[in-house]
Copies of this chain bind each other. A is one copy, B any other.
Amino acid sequence: MKIEVIAIGTELLTPYFQDTNSLYLAQRLNDLGFEISFKTIVGDNWENLIFCIEKAIAFSDLVIAMGGLGPTDDDKTREAFAEVLKKKLIFQEDILKKIEERFRRRGMVMPAANRKQAYIIEGAEVLENKNGTAPGLWLETGKKKIVLLPGPPHELRPMCEESVWPRLKEICLGFMARKTIKITGLTESEVEGYISDCYPKTKELNLTILAYPGQIEIHLAACSTKSPVEVEEKIQNLENKILARLKENIFSTSGEELEEVVGKLLRQRHETLAAAESCTGGLLSHRLTNIPGSSDYFLLGVTAYSNSAKNQWLGVPPELLQKYGAVSAEVVQAMASSVREKAKTSFGLAITGIAGPSGGTKEKPVGLVYTALSWEGGVEVKKNIFLGKRDLIKFQSSQIALDMLRRFLLHQQNKE
């Protein structure tokens, strides 16, 4: 079954905008066992639009078009499909009423332009839009299926969930399951080395390794024509194999970010955290506080960007700064212990390094970063060398610091 997704809008052909709806569509179509064969992006130009629609309908079995259902003159999707299908546009009083009602609820009168949205292609089923004025359309001609959707993601997604996927589920050919395994603390080739014999030999099971700075992801996908249970089992067996190999290097198998995982571990154990940052400049603190409810365990972050701030706010002795320099194992250790003691938390994390692009020397190059974890009774220090630009060095540094705490909490848990 060939599937074509068409994104319609002149802005999608400029350097500034990109169709992102199709990533969501790909995900949900994959879930049903379908794959996209083509994606096409076309502007509001009538001739180009007609050409795209003609060849899509000629070659594909399912055509999903999005965008161009709005009230303005630019919006021609409905008209163009009607033209290619040689069908009439029919005015629907009840749709107009709903659109008018929508404006009324917001204390407004419907502009005349919106009347256009009450026309539907002859023979089409209307897909209700609970989050906007443009209704979607579902059309079948011969064996071909055509779906017209509004462009804004907050309108398109609920409409798909409510009206499109349930209809496609009835004709779906199989089942699909996916899983993402997130790893930190290993390189891509180390991960590859651990699991090189786990690559599935069947076409129905797929394993892909994706490398990001500071994080490796293993994406698993399984499909089957038999049952959703079978497909889940296939994924689970492969996942178990990988879990046994990579053990605690894996921090999530359910989509969570590292800061979320660390937050959960702290919350479970009723422990608290403070952060002392230099080169990451607040990023560690920012990531931790992106998690709702983080104020339960994250109490204080200090970005001590100058030596005097490191001394005054974190009590790092000037002798230490002078003898070893701000980027050193000695200073990061003092930062972690001091912030923990001053904030009276269970843990202190500290980061100091050279994020670049300038400030590096032969002995202390750009990318040299020390991270430390302090707890009552001990401190652990790590020396790291990161590659990449300033933003990547900042990110990888925060990632390593979070991971030090995660591993410590895991080991504590395992000891109990």
B281 touches A303 (CB 8 A): no
A356 interfacial contact with B, CB 8 Å: yes
Give the residues in chain B near A313, CB-CB below 8 Å: 300, 302, 313, 342
Apart from A282-B284, A289-B305, what 6 extra A-B contacts exist at CB < 8 Å? A13-B37, A13-B38, A16-B23, A38-B52, A292-B356, A303-B303
Q: How many residues of A contact B (CB 8 A)?
A: 71
A150 interfacial contact with B, CB 8 Å: no
B301 touches A48 (CB 8 A): no
B295 touches A305 (CB 8 A): yes
A219 touches B306 (CB 8 A): no
* Chain A stretch 302-329: residues in CB contact (< 8 A) with chain B: 302-306, 308-309, 312-313
A115 interfacial contact with B, CB 8 Å: no
A299 touches B306 (CB 8 A): yes
* Chain A stretch 12-52: residues in CB contact (< 8 A) with chain B: 12-16, 18, 20, 23-24, 26-27, 30, 35-43, 45, 48, 51-52
A103 interfacial contact with B, CB 8 Å: no
Question: Closest approach, in angstroms, between the C-beta of A24 and any C-beta of chain B?
Answer: 7
Give the residues in chain B near A281, CB-CB below 8 Å: 285-286, 288-290, 294, 298, 301
Chain A residues at the B interface, C-beta cutoff of 8 Å? 2, 11-16, 18, 20, 23-24, 26-27, 30, 35-43, 45, 48, 51-52, 55, 59, 208, 210, 219, 275, 277, 279-286, 288-290, 292-295, 298-306, 308-309, 312-313, 342-343, 355-358, 390-391, 394
Known: A18-B20, A30-B14, A309-B300. A38 touches B35 (CB 8 A): no
Q: In whole angstroms, what is the CA distance A286 to B5 when docked?
A: 39
Known: A40-B38, A282-B286. A302 touches B301 (CB 8 A): yes
A301 touches B303 (CB 8 A): yes
Output the residue of A12, A219, A283 with the most chain B CB within 10 A. Answer: A283
Question: Closest approach, in angstroms, between the C-beta of A341 and any C-beta of chain B?
Answer: 12
Checking B24, B51, B301 against A59 with a beta-carbon cut-off of 8 angstroms, the contacting residue is B51
Give the residues in chain B near A38, CB-CB below 8 Å: 13, 40-42, 48, 52
Known: A283-B286, A285-B303, A299-B309. A40 touches B39 (CB 8 A): yes
Give the residues in chain B near A210, CB-CB below 8 Å: 16
Output the residue of A20, A293, A301 with the most chain B CB within 10 A. Answer: A301
Chain A to chain B contacts (Cβ below 8 Å), 9 pairs: A38-B42, A39-B39, A40-B41, A282-B286, A286-B394, A289-B394, A292-B357, A299-B309, A301-B305
> In the complex, what residue of chain B is closest to A206 when comparing beta carbons?
B14
Give the residues in chain B near A30, CB-CB below 8 Å: 14-15
Give the residues in chain B near A24, CB-CB below 8 Å: 15
